């Protein structure tokens, strides 16, 4: 069974095929053409971790493809709490055509997928956020920045940073990740990346100096310093991330035509200044909308995949 658990599971050609499919479906959507790519198909959306954009984009996406979505939150389903995940996966997958899971456990996601009779999509875990990266890269392609691409990721070495590492490793572009000491990208992710880089030729570097990462970058990106569930760490994180706010001065270190991307929600004055956000908000909102179109591309691809 073909799943979408991490970008590392896909080849460059497969990623680009999904992006091209998303572009095609988006163009159709924009002129009011809604083809039944997935007629009468049902998507189970399991949310153990809430999200505005993930729910709206998946629920709207499956509807526009001719199917329907079933929203299941932590009160509706308790994966691994009482009933084994393997039982939950086998039962749910016998009733639906695809499953999206958003939770805090990559291990649980993978266990569910191992026992699922239908494709499973990673809507976010503590390790990866691959659907967001597909939306980000779709935006980069639309802006014509995919040639000679150099991305600077500034901030927490979290699931977004890891996903950027995976995308660069597969597609072969240049990426520099700048994180404060103690917040680096997980070593296991770096090892996974090294195996992919040997094939793609990507150039990925790590530093604790944002100025180094920004040099010649054509895309600058970041993520919140305080993710859901880390609220008690807020004061300490603010202190630890001092000097990592992407502000107007910092953007001058990037290429003169560089754009700023943010997966949202964005906290002005923390990971990004209000000025930088406002200057790039058109692209950021384009990026946010592209969650819908990228995920439609993923769902259609998986519905057609033969393994």
Q: Looking at residue 179, which CATH number applies to its domain?
A: 3.40.50.1370
Domain co-membership, 63 together with 186: no
Domain co-membership, 174 together with 224: yes
* H helix or E strand, kind and range, residue 71: strand 68-73
pLDDT band at 1 (very low <50, low <70, confident <90, very high): confident
pTM, full prediction: 0.96
- Across the chain, mean pLDDT equals 96
Q: Is the pLDDT of residue 273 over 60?
A: yes
* H helix or E strand, kind and range, residue 46: strand 42-47
Q: Which DSSP letter does residue 184 get?
A: P
Provide the 3-class DSSP secondary structure of residue 4.
strand
In this prediction, residue 229 carries a pLDDT of 74
In this prediction, residue 230 carries a pLDDT of 77
Instruction: Please compute the mean of the pLDDT values over residues 179-191 and round it to a whole number.
Output: 97
Q: Is the pLDDT of residue 177 over 60?
A: yes
Instruction: Please compute the mean of the pLDDT values over residues 121-142 and round it to a whole number.
Output: 98
- Answer yes or no: is 271 within a domain: yes
Domain co-membership, 16 together with 79: yes
Taking CA atoms, 135 is separated from 112, 250, 260, 296, in Å, by 24, 25, 14, 10
How many Å apart are CA 103 and CA 101, to the nearest integer?
6
Q: Which DSSP letter does residue 231 get?
A: G
Domain co-membership, 200 together with 270: yes
Structure tokens at 290: 């592209």
pLDDT band at 226 (very low <50, low <70, confident <90, very high): confident
Domain containing 257 equals: 132-288
Domain co-membership, 165 together with 228: yes
pLDDT band at 82 (very low <50, low <70, confident <90, very high): confident
How many Å apart are CA 46 and CA 136, to the nearest integer?
23
Q: Is the pLDDT of residue 21 over 70?
A: yes
Active site residues: 102, 129, 132, 223, 263, 291
How many Å apart are CA 201 and CA 194, to the nearest integer?
10
pLDDT band at 5 (very low <50, low <70, confident <90, very high): very high
Q: Is the pLDDT of residue 200 over 90?
A: yes
* Count of H-run helices and E-run strands, the chain: 11, 9
In this prediction, residue 80 carries a pLDDT of 65
Domain co-membership, 148 together with 278: yes
In this prediction, residue 76 carries a pLDDT of 84
Domain co-membership, 119 together with 142: no
In this prediction, residue 307 carries a pLDDT of 55
Instruction: Please compute the mean of the pLDDT values over residues 232-237 and round it to a whole number.
Output: 89
């Amino acid at each position: 069974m073909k799943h979408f658990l991490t970008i590392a599971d896909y080849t460059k050609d497969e990623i680009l095929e999904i992006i091209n499919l998303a572009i095609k479906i988006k163009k159709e959507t924009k002129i009011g053409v809604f083809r039944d790519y997935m007629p009468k198909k049902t998507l189970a959306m399991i949310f153990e971790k809430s999200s505005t954009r993930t729910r709206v984009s998946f629920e709207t996406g499956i509807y526009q493809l001719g199917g329907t979505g079933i929203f299941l939150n932590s009160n509706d389903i308790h994966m691994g709490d009482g009933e084994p995940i393997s039982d939950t996966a086998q039962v749910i997958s016998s009733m639906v055509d695809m499953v999206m899971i958003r939770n805090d456990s990559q291990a649980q996601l993978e266990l569910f997928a191992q026992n699922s009779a239908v494709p499973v999509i990673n809507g976010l875990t503590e390790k990866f956020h691959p659907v967001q990266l597909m939306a980000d890269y779709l935006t980069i392609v639309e802006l014509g920045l995919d040639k000679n691409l150099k991305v600077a990721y500034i901030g927490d070495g979290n699931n977004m940073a890891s996903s950027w590492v995976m995308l660069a490793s597969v597609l072969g572009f240049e990426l520099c990740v700048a994180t404060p000491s103690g917040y680096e990208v997980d070593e296991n992710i770096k090892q996974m990346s090294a195996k992919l880089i040997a094939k793609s030729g990507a150039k990925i570097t790590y530093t604790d100096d944002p100025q180094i990462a920004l040099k010649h970058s054509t895309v600058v990106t970041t993520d919140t310093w305080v993710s859901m569930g880390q609220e008690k760490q807020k004061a300490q994180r603010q202190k630890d991330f001092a000097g990592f706010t992407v502000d107007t001065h910092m953007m001058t270190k990037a290429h003169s035509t560089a754009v700023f991307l943010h997966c949202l929600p964005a906290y002005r004055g923390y990971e990004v200044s209000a000025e930088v956000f406002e200057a790039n908000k058109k692209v950021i909102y384009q990026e946010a909308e592209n969650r819908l179109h990228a995920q439609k591309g993923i769902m259609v691809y998986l519905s057609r995949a033969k393994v």
